[in-house]
Amino acid sequence: MEYYSKQIGQLISELSGLPGIGAKSAQRLAFHILHMPIEDVEKLSETLVDARKNVRYCKECFTLTDQEVCPICSNEKRNHKKIMVVEDSRDLAAYEKTQKYDGVYHVLHGAISPMQGVGPADIRLKELMQRLQKDDVEEVIIATNSSLEGETTAMYISKLIKPSGIRVTRIASGVPVGGDLEYIDEVTLLRALDGRTEL
């Protein structure tokens, strides 16, 4: 049984197709949009269409940008001899929020996952290797997730790069701040122990 008119139902249906938006959230968003002034709805609509038309991959690091080269890659003050490899643009944004990393990035847009049919050719590894050949890079920091796919990707990248003589490092991982040791898995505890530092 349909509770709403065709257009309201269609709006809810489209919104619920977005990741992380369930039926109730889609319904709340739909009614919020329907109560917005028409000018605000038009502005939202135009912004969505403009972003979809104009946002593309940076030709250097492959993050999402509306320019040919993203603001990070075009910044002369950044250390272009240091590249952090991340799985997606959200990871890049997370590191940028720390305001402690001064190098540049390379966004893979995924991780190697044989179970899901994602191989090395399906992510931006070829572009990373091409970049390492033409740029004077001193260090590659692998900052993939601590998942099985992230670890597999990190090991694969390390094996690819090491013969070139470029320093390859992996971000440390371990016990999160505020985490109780009794609830943390063995692999995380082992990584925390291996990555310990002097006090």
- Taken in order of first residue, the domains within the chain and their CATH numbers are 78-173+183-194 (3.40.1360.10)
Strands 139-142 and 64-65: unpaired
Q: Sorting pLDDT into bands at 50, 70 and 90, what band is 175?
A: low
Q: Sorting pLDDT into bands at 50, 70 and 90, what band is 141?
A: very high
> For residue 7, how many C-alpha atoms fall within 13 Å in the half-sphere facing its CB?
3
* Res. 51: pLDDT tops 50: yes
pTM for this predicted structure: 0.81
What would the mean pLDDT of 22-45 be, rounded to a whole number?
A: 95
Which residues are registered as beta bridge partners of 106?
Answer: 85
What would the mean pLDDT of 44-63 be, rounded to a whole number?
A: 95
Q: What is the pLDDT of residue 171?
A: 84
* Res. 1: pLDDT tops 50: no
